[in-house]
Amino acid sequence: MTPRLSRRVALETRHVVADGGGGESATWVRKGTLWASFRPSSGREGLIGEQIASRVSHRVRVRGAPIGSPRRPQAAERLRMGTRIFDILAVTEDDDQGAYFLLWVVEGSLS
């Protein structure tokens, strides 16, 4: 059965540059656009200071891409869907042919 990839997401990678004062500054740079399907897998909430924060994990399926392709997601990158951010924790092939990847992502934060 072919997965229904119905959500358009941006794949972003972290780009670090020297700030000229001996430190560095990080920004997120768009690598490309992917079509994906999302499936929530777990969630929790807790307090950060005096605010309640939530963290939801998802399994995300996207099309496979060859090694070196900017469309190939990697751990430590992220997906953006509008204002929602999903940090990629792990990537694995979802089938024997590598036609699809399964991404383990988290949305939100609990520091």
pLDDT of 102 reads: 95
pLDDT of 41 reads: 80
What mean pLDDT value characterizes the chain?
87
Enter the pTM of the model.
0.82
Q: Return left, alpha or beta for 97; rule: phi > 0 is left, psi -120 to 50 is alpha, else beta.
A: alpha
Whether residue 46 has pLDDT greater than 80:
no
Whether residue 19 has pLDDT greater than 50:
yes
Residue 24 to residue 52: CA distance in whole angstroms: 30
pLDDT tens-digit readout, 56-70? 889 999 999 988 888
Secondary structure (DSSP) of 62-77: EE---TT-TTS--TT-
